[in-house]
Structure 1
Amino acid sequence: MEPAANYQSDVLVIGSGAAGLTTALQLADHHSVIIVSKGPLTEGSTYYAQGGIAAVFDESDSIESHVEDTLIAGAGLCERETVEFTTRNAREALQWLIDEGVGFDQVESKADSPTYHLNQEGGHSHRRILHAADATGKAVQTTLQSKVLAHPNIKVLERFNAVDLITGRRLQREPGCYGAYLWNRKLERVETAAARFVVLATGGSSKVYQYTSNPDIASGDGIAMAWRAGCSVTNMEFNQFHPTCLYHPNAQSFLLTEALRGEGAVLRRPDGSRFMDSFHEAAELAPRDVVARAIDYEMKRLGADCMYLDISHQTEAFLRHHFPTIFEKCLSLGIDMSKQPIPVVPAAHYTCGGITTNLNAETDLPRLYAVGEVAYTGLHGANRMASNSLLECLVFARAAAQHILEQSHETPVVDHLPAWDDSQVSDSDEEVVIQHNWHELRLFMWDYVGIVRTTKRLERALHRIQLLQQEIHDYYSNFKVSNNLLELRNLVQVAELIVHSALARKESRGLHYTLDYPDLDPNAKPTKLVPQHL
């Protein structure tokens, strides 16, 4: 008989951002929950999200308008049913956050109920972005985190890497997910976690690119694990590059929220001239893919290191009130945004594709759910509209929890799992191999699979990926796991999925722009990849 699992719970949630914490809190009154956090609990993309969360709170706005704006931003590839489901459930999800204690900015009002200050961002036709100054993600993360840590039915495992899912195929049982192998970074050993249900909420994979706005943990772990377990993925070619990251040697990954442009910030060339009105009728409020491509084009055309974002028409008092985090960050680097423009460059920001799910957040594998940026729900299509990301986390976390509660009585627990076998491996004395491969992967993904692509560049990238995969497989087979090795293994897998998806799309649409196929395909569909062993 297999040994008992090191950890056992009704629900194993892998990931500790808005999606994972919301799922856990929705379930914990009825089920035991373990949350696996790769780093400290706060260290995820949610914590760094600045802009806000989109929902219809203004009487002049409508759900129909939110739907249409999302469909337009998604460039014809959104699934309307998903968009309608998400926007219809948006206000209730936001109200739950408010009830949990998230303090969204309000305006003075004589009304009995709170009146929230609503921002407008690119692609939105109305002001519908609830926010907490320019640190909405931090407010959401810290509020939910405090609730999670206080709940008696939730156990948090910090500094644990998920290594692989434990499936029915491995156990010689019926298809399904029965738990996961976890690498305990403190004890440096792989342990087992058994659960009746597993929820992947590991975020995106933008760390596959050299320049990214994401924290270090965004290494595509959930997507790669689900693919290895037999799940399909969809639309992996659509990686969103945020147009405006601060360009400064001491400010890597610092994002400049879209709300700056919503408040009138304009983009300028180094000579001070504007350029966005030459690329789109909405100028600075055009969808992110348009703005990122325009900045990239101007930088390459002029041989410039960056472009400039100028909001100096606003007063210092206004900027300090609405964008305190950004103002202080810029000031610490010698940039007074009330008097001078901010140097900016695009950076990989958001993974629009992911593990294929339905409206219950179910994957292809029974007992396995995927929520948040790790999932493809059909909401974003070929380009995510600003501030729909945290909304998706909330709506689908609640949907997953509801479905799990409904299935609970039918799903037995399997508490005995095969132990991890590391008897044939040794400690590595060649860590430089991982570091070299790590840097090579991120560099050629940026150069060959970035904002502008060609078939030749994609084929070169795929060739390099295949060589790296063999090296990493040999390394993984012979040496003990480490954080860098696990992340590199997953990033190379995700890189392959991105390139295969990009090669399959013979058109330019949304975030996928290729010089070889510049036109739209009128019959375009989502790009779905299915593992061969299914």
Structure 2
Amino acid sequence: MTGAPGTRQRYAVIVVGSGISGLFVALEARRLGPVLVLTKGSIDDCNTRWAQGGIAAAVGPLDSPEQHLADTIAAGAGLVDEEAARILCFEAPARIRDLVRYGVSFDSLGGEVALGREAAHSRARVLHAGGDQTGAAIETALSAAAMDPAITILDHTLVTRLAVEEGEARGVEAVHLQTGEREWYEGDAIVLGTGGAGQLFSHTTNPEVATGDGVALAFDAGAEIADIEFYQFHPTALRVPGLPTFLISEAVRGEGAVLRNLAGEAFMQRYHPLADLAPRDVVSRAIVREMRREGSDHVFLDCTGLKSVDLAARFPAIFAHCMEAGIDMRVDPIPVAPAAHYLMGGVRTDTWGRTTIPRLYACGECACTGVHGANRLASNSLMETVVFGKRVVEHLAAGGGGAATATPDRIPFPAPSTAAPSHRELQAMMWECAGIERDGPGLERGLQTISGWPARQPGACTRGAFERQQMTTVAALMLTAALRRTESRGGHYRSDYPERDDAHWRRRQVFIRA
């Protein structure tokens, strides 16, 4: 059911966010009692809908959870939490069955599920639906299933504060954006499923809602934030003047497409033995270097050699979007450049989705389970949402209680007292100062820029003003963590410290509000 805020009511579970993590938790939790889903946009306004490539699970006859785990650990650059990653990889096949039960129809070939291969995977293990529309297919199926009397969905409802009383999360404060009405909602458990923070950057594959709200809400409430310096930039986003950024799935390279510079040279073999299927951080930096060398803002993704692949059928959304831009990917190379894509860090949780605040849980991109380490393995993100979303509900069904153990050496950090004057100014600053290649002076300049912005306005209730406050908090955390980490690892690259330093930095940074 859907509606608008009304009489104060208590729920078994309050879910903040309506992407795959939020809806999956809501569907699984409805057996525990009434569930409330709050989302600041419409129900389908989320990162999930834009996920093209697919969802990773070891379901093929030549694959195994052990090999999936090995690939996940290798991609994570020494910082993967192996217990969490083992849970992800071994529980993945069962979660695929759950999605099928909720109405997701994965693509098949010859009567068997079709499996694609993406960067840093040693096997073809990526399931997809509707070709390159996997996220949309999952979101559509879960949205339909969530039209249930046990689930109340309030869209255009912005959560502005987590209520923590006597050390426990007890509810949320929210404002209905269409009426301006404020409301308190009480819950036995609060689950954050708010997605990522791609809107921190001027070039991103993320939708407008991805402003890091869940991370900032949890930080303000006193939860721990971990690995916030690690941001993944997707190597291949459409770069055409005057057109918005559009993701060109890694699955295209998985089918055999080749990156070429303006001279037509296939360059990735110079940077990594896996060439075009190297880890995303390697490919993104290689593209940046080729662009810098040639004085260009793009390279080309060449699909013209894929004669055995029906590109229009395999990648219908990408094919149609490119055609609208005047590019026939069957005969024309696609101009691409990296764009901000995925936040590896976030609200620190344990393997049951518990944060360090009792009764407050998090899952999906806003959470930091540790499975991604410093660099996410392609298509593990959608799987992470359902694996740990399931575990959140399993923990609640068993009685809940407790919290993630506090980190002994967590770093106190004062919330910024300023807020970005505009989204555009914040995005430009973060792209310049905390983008694909970082250095100490640039990171310090970013922090100085934040300190010079106007003072925060208490009680800001418009969506734009609230988002700028949340984005400023996440930006300050990211800049600080990146400045402290004097090495390069995974999605964090420092040109002034270009080497990985396991002796000093094979550890996570965890922040807590001072």
TM-score normalized by the length of structure 2 = 0.93
Aligned pairs (5 A) from 1:256-271:
256-271=248-263
Q: State the AA in 1 paired with 2:121.
A: H
Please state how far the C-alpha of 1:261 moved relative to its aligned partner.
0.3
Please state how far the C-alpha of 1:317 moved relative to its aligned partner.
6.5
Change in Cα spacing, 1:99 to 1:368, as seen in structure 2 (3 Å) is same
Deviation sequence 1:10-44 (CA, Å, 0-9, x none): 11000000000000000102311000111111110
Match of 2:444 among 456, 459, 462: 459
Please state how far the C-alpha of 1:5 moved relative to its aligned partner.
6.7
State the partner residue of 1:36.
38
Q: Does 1:490 align with 2:470?
A: yes
Q: Does 1:366 align with 2:358?
A: yes
- For 2:136, what is the secondary structure of its paired residue? helix
Q: State the AA in 1 paired with 2:288.
A: D
State the partner residue of 1:446.
431
Match of 1:51 among 50, 53, 70: 53
Please state how far the C-alpha of 1:300 moved relative to its aligned partner.
1.4
Alpha-carbon distance in structure 2 between the residues aligned to 1:10 and 1:128? 36
CA contact (8 A) 2:419 2:472 kept: no
Alpha-carbon distance in structure 1 between the residues aligned to 2:302 and 2:206? 23
State the partner residue of 1:419.
none
Match of 2:223 among 231, 253, 269: 231
Q: State the AA in 2 paired with 1:336.
A: D
Alpha-carbon distance in structure 1 between the residues aligned to 2:250 and 2:146? 30
Please state how far the C-alpha of 1:218 moved relative to its aligned partner.
0.3
Alpha-carbon distance in structure 2 between the residues aligned to 1:310 and 1:175? 55
Match of 1:78 among 77, 80, 97: 80
Alpha-carbon distance in structure 2 between the residues aligned to 1:293 and 1:250? 24
Match of 1:24 among 9, 23, 26: 26
| Number of aligned residue pairs | 492
Please state how far the C-alpha of 1:206 moved relative to its aligned partner.
1.3
Q: Does 1:255 align with 2:216?
A: no
CA contact (8 A) 1:316 1:338 kept: no
Alpha-carbon distance in structure 1 between the residues aligned to 2:280 and 2:367? 20
Aligned pairs (5 A) from 1:412-427:
none
Q: State the AA in 2 paired with 1:211.
A: H
State the partner residue of 2:201.
209
State the partner residue of 2:136.
138
Aligned pairs (5 A) from 1:193-342:
193-315=185-307, 318-342=310-334
Alpha-carbon distance in structure 2 between the residues aligned to 1:251 and 1:127? 33
- For 1:89, what is the secondary structure of its paired residue? helix
Alpha-carbon distance in structure 1 between the residues aligned to 2:314 and 2:86? 31
Alpha-carbon distance in structure 2 between the residues aligned to 1:50 and 1:210? 21
State the partner residue of 1:156.
153
Identical residues among aligned pairs (%): 39
Change in Cα spacing, 1:317 to 1:76, as seen in structure 2 (3 Å) is closer
Alpha-carbon distance in structure 1 between the residues aligned to 2:224 and 2:507? 12
- For 1:531, what is the secondary structure of its paired residue? strand
- For 2:28, what is the secondary structure of its paired residue? helix
Alpha-carbon distance in structure 2 between the residues aligned to 1:5 and 1:393? 31
Deviation sequence 1:102-159 (CA, Å, 0-9, x none): 11001114xxxxx10000000100000010111000110000000001x111000001
- For 1:180, what is the secondary structure of its paired residue? strand
CA contact (8 A) 2:262 2:294 kept: no
CA contact (8 A) 1:232 1:528 kept: no
CA contact (8 A) 2:216 2:470 kept: yes
State the partner residue of 2:70.
68
Q: Does 1:357 align with 2:342?
A: no
Alpha-carbon distance in structure 2 between the residues aligned to 1:498 and 1:265? 33
Please state how far the C-alpha of 1:530 moved relative to its aligned partner.
3.0
Q: Which of the two has higher C-alpha Rg?
A: 1
State the partner residue of 2:480.
500
Q: Which consecutive residues of structure 1, in runs of 5 or more, have no partner in the other structure?
A: 110-114, 169-173, 412-432
CA contact (8 A) 1:208 1:441 kept: yes
Alpha-carbon distance in structure 2 between the residues aligned to 1:30 and 1:364? 23
- For 2:143, what is the secondary structure of its paired residue? helix
State the partner residue of 1:527.
508
Please state how far the C-alpha of 1:74 moved relative to its aligned partner.
0.5
Instruction: Let me know the Cα RMSD of the aligned residues.
Output: 1.7
CA contact (8 A) 1:167 1:178 kept: yes
Alpha-carbon distance in structure 2 between the residues aligned to 1:472 and 1:54? 44
Match of 2:145 among 130, 134, 147: 147
Alpha-carbon distance in structure 2 between the residues aligned to 1:343 and 1:214? 19
Alpha-carbon distance in structure 1 between the residues aligned to 2:420 and 2:95? 42
Alpha-carbon distance in structure 2 between the residues aligned to 1:316 and 1:344? 23
Deviation sequence 1:287-323 (CA, Å, 0-9, x none): 0000001111111121102110011112497101111
Match of 1:90 among 92, 101, 114: 92
Match of 1:126 among 123, 126, 136: 123
Q: Which consecutive residues of structure 2, in runs of 5 or more, have no partner in the other structure?
A: 1-5, 403-417
TM-score normalized by the length of structure 1 = 0.90
Alpha-carbon distance in structure 1 between the residues aligned to 2:455 and 2:370? 32
